[in-house]
Amino acid sequence: MNRYLILDLETTGLDWWREKIVGIGIRLEPEGREEFFPYPDPGWLREYLLEYRDRIWIGHNIKFDLLFIHYPPEVVYSLQIRDTMDMVHLYDSRLSKSLVEVEKEFLGSETKFWHLHQENKRKIKSWDLDKVKEYCLNDVLITWNVFRKLEPELEKLEVLHIFRKNMELLKVLYEIEYFGFLFDKEEADRSVKILEENLKLQEEQFFQKAGVRFNWRSHKQLSYYAYDYLNFPRPENPFLDPVTGEDLGRNPESRKYNSTMVSSSILVGKAKHPWALDIQFLRETDKAIDFIQRLSSLTDDKNFLHSSFNISGTRTGRISSSRPNLQNIMSGMRGFFLSSSFMDAEAVEAILNRSQAYNVRRLFIARPGYKIVSIDYKQMEMRMFGIVSKDPHMLEFLQSGTDIHSQIAQRVWGKADEITRDWAKQIGFGLIYGMTMGSLRFRLNLTLEEAKKITSDYWNTFPTIRPWLFGVVEECKKRGYLRYWSGRIWREDRVEKMYRGANALIQGGCADLLSVAVLRVNNYIKRNNLDIRIVNLVHDEIVFEMREEDFEHIPKIANLMQVEDLFGIPFIVDVKIGRSHGELESYGKSDTGTGKQIFSQ
């Protein structure tokens, strides 16, 4: 019979490296014994709980609690852990993971809700300790009951093997978060200064051009000055329902259009507004400043960032990242070269000389003596698409490992030039995202006839793809869910949304593949006792920090990532190395003749 330790912490905040534990509640099962310790001494607490290290530890988002207790990663690796938050996610990724909602959904009670109704959680420091104790032990009890309820459910759904895999992945994520990613704060401060000067310069140029000063960050004000004040025709909202007049653009499912009409794509594309590029550039600089300041505010006293990697944060099974989000860091300027037209030559030069400041990734650096090594998958989603759709021609291309879009173009249209390669690429995206014909037309800048011809050529060349897409929807209609290659379940009961299932199978399939790769690579690192850390995960990329003398392990790591045994074809990877995440250079060469990476030994 299994023995359990269920735990829950109350803390002063979310950041374990600078906040304090207010109290910890634990429950021992099967004894049913409860204990609560207010403001425990951290060292004492670590020792005390280890008396129960042979038990299975259960928590709702247990990684959070373990980080607050501050165990070294090797201790966490030695534990058996169960995260009820991930159990909920594997049961149905659409559900809210907050304990209040989880209690309601699976236990049918609202005890936590009523506790919170009486007290403000943000002021937990000022609660009576008796109250904290009662609240905390109630959370522990809910967690235990949710675990008991969901374990058999997950078994019935045949997803316990994914749950076990995820609990091992959680330990790797723990280690990534525990050590963190070194942030170059001095350089960040310099960049912010430069960007703020740039912003001032851009604002001045813009206000002069506009002939009026206002807060361009406000949609309301910008909309007024860009259209009414300028007497510039306001583009018609194409999402107004012609019959009812309802603004469908306000539908949260589709927020691309809005009544203010000041998004970049509308200003640039639809309105062709004279301020479009100026606004785009102002926003870009503003965004860069926001990014860097957010990062600077979250460093610990040694300038490390400890992002949270969440395995139950996405609909598809991808990992998400927060505080800070390390998966959307700017890599450089995008809109500048388009928008520089409104500036005088001097201003253009001034900003170009400072363009490095927009590369926020270069602020993520290796520790002294180490290098950043980034290994990412080439065209990962296209590969997964070929695998799940089982199209023989697509799979044949994937085997060779050369540029997939060019190969497709060659096969479909008999030649692979820039134009046909772009067609192939856009249709590939379209298939992965469920694009409509209208959108594809816009993307390719074609007439309806041309677009239809091109897509039908594509369908004819890959005969199983269209039937597969229909089949996915059919299966979802029939069962109410889809199952990934990994066994993970994706549920959807709205028929009109089931087309998203194809994307889920691809995006989520890639996510589960990456998690397998992470585990295998991590096992290799630990087994050989290597001084190599994973510092970031970005959907199709693993970022490492290692010494140059350990570069000899790169081919092995790259090979492990290719997981050739899983599908019979390798997921080809690309290796880059640099002093920071923003200054990477290719490492090794891929042999385009055979398509085999040199890393596949």
Partner DNA sequence: TGACTCTGCGCG
Partner DNA sequence: AAAGCGCGCAGAGTCA
Interacting positions 322-351 with DNA (CB under 7 A): 322-325, 327-332, 334-335
Q: How far is CA 358 from CA 193, 195, 335, in A?
A: 12, 8, 11
Which range in 394-402, 409-417, 467-475, 532-540 contacts DNA by CB under 7 A? 532-540
Q: Which residue lies nearer to DNA by CB, 140 or 375? A: 375
Please list every residue from 546 through 575 that binds DNA, using CB under 7 A: none
Q: How far is CA 102 from CA 83, 113, 425, in A?
A: 13, 11, 42
Q: Which residue lies nearer to DNA by CB, 6 or 409? A: 409
| Candidate residues 503, 559, 562, 600; the one interacting with DNA per rule CB under 7 A | 503
Smallest distance from the beta carbon of 325 to DNA, in angstroms?
4
| Candidate residues 184, 391, 512, 541; the one interacting with DNA per rule CB under 7 A | 541
481 scored as a contact of DNA (CB under 7 A):
no
Tell me if the bond preceding 30 is cis, omega within 30° of 0: yes
* Total of residues contacting DNA (CB under 7 A): 76
250 scored as a contact of DNA (CB under 7 A):
yes
Smallest distance from the beta carbon of 331 to DNA, in angstroms?
5
List the beta bridge partners of residue 491: 481
**Cβ of 556: how many Cβ atoms within 10 Å?**
14
CA pair distance 8, 576, nearest whole angstrom: 41
199 scored as a contact of DNA (CB under 7 A):
no
270 scored as a contact of DNA (CB under 7 A):
yes
CA pair distance 7, 85, nearest whole angstrom: 13
313 scored as a contact of DNA (CB under 7 A):
yes
Q: Give the pair of three-digit tokens for residue 1.
A: 């019979």
122 scored as a contact of DNA (CB under 7 A):
yes
CA pair distance 497, 515, nearest whole angstrom: 27
Spatial CA neighbour of 305 closest among 159, 188, 427, 473: 188
**Strand, coil or helix: 401:** coil
Please list every residue from 86 through 105 that binds DNA, using CB under 7 A: none
| Candidate residues 430, 509, 570, 578; the one interacting with DNA per rule CB under 7 A | 430
Smallest distance from the beta carbon of 238 to DNA, in angstroms?
5
Please list every residue from 57 through 86 that binds DNA, using CB under 7 A: none
221 scored as a contact of DNA (CB under 7 A):
yes
263 scored as a contact of DNA (CB under 7 A):
yes
Sheet holding 4-11, edge to edge: 33-38, 21-29, 4-11, 56-59, 80-83
Smallest distance from the beta carbon of 326 to DNA, in angstroms?
9
262 scored as a contact of DNA (CB under 7 A):
yes
Which range in 20-28, 102-110, 281-289, 479-487 contacts DNA by CB under 7 A? 281-289
**Cβ of 229: how many Cβ atoms within 10 Å?**
14
| Candidate residues 238, 463, 467, 480; the one interacting with DNA per rule CB under 7 A | 238
Smallest distance from the beta carbon of 549 to DNA, in angstroms?
29
256 scored as a contact of DNA (CB under 7 A):
yes
Crossing angle of helices 404-413 and 448-461, rounded to 10°: 100
| Residues whose CB is less than 8 angstroms from the CB of residue 459 and which lie 6 or more positions away in sequence, other chains included | 465, 466
Please list every residue from 448 through 477 that binds DNA, using CB under 7 A: 448
Q: Which residue lies nearer to DNA by CB, 161 or 334? A: 334
Maximum CA extent, the chain: 77
12 scored as a contact of DNA (CB under 7 A):
no
Q: Is residue 310 within 8 Å of 319, Cβ to Cβ?
A: yes
Spatial CA neighbour of 295 closest among 269, 320, 328, 270: 328
Smallest distance from the beta carbon of 302 to DNA, in angstroms?
21
252 scored as a contact of DNA (CB under 7 A):
yes
480 scored as a contact of DNA (CB under 7 A):
no
Smallest distance from the beta carbon of 150 to DNA, in angstroms?
20
Give the torsion sign (CA, 442, 448, 451, 456): positive
| Candidate residues 138, 191, 280, 407; the one interacting with DNA per rule CB under 7 A | 280
434 scored as a contact of DNA (CB under 7 A):
yes
Smallest distance from the beta carbon of 316 to DNA, in angstroms?
5
**Strand, coil or helix: 12:** coil
Q: Which residue lies nearer to DNA by CB, 111 or 293? A: 293
Spatial CA neighbour of 184 closest among 323, 295, 54: 295
Spatial CA neighbour of 38 closest among 126, 135, 133, 138: 133
290 scored as a contact of DNA (CB under 7 A):
yes
Which range in 15-23, 104-112, 258-266, 552-560 contacts DNA by CB under 7 A? 258-266
Cα angle value 9/13/15 (rounded, 5°): 95
| Candidate residues 78, 98, 265, 586; the one interacting with DNA per rule CB under 7 A | 265
220 scored as a contact of DNA (CB under 7 A):
yes
Q: Which residue lies nearer to DNA by CB, 97 or 553? A: 97
320 scored as a contact of DNA (CB under 7 A):
yes
Which range in 247-255, 392-400, 475-483, 546-554 contacts DNA by CB under 7 A? 247-255
Torsions phi, psi for 123 (to 5 deg) = -105, 35
Q: Which residue lies nearer to DNA by CB, 80 or 258? A: 258
Spatial CA neighbour of 189 closest among 324, 281, 303: 303
Please report the beta strands in 64-154, taking only residues with DSSP state E, as ranges in sequence order: 80-83
Spatial CA neighbour of 279 closest among 329, 343, 222, 359: 222
Q: Which residue lies nearer to DNA by CB, 38 or 332? A: 332
Smallest distance from the beta carbon of 115 to DNA, in angstroms?
16
Render 506-527 in DSSP notation, one character per residue: HHHHHHHHHHHHHHHHHHHHHH
**Cβ of 369: how many Cβ atoms within 10 Å?**
9
260 scored as a contact of DNA (CB under 7 A):
yes
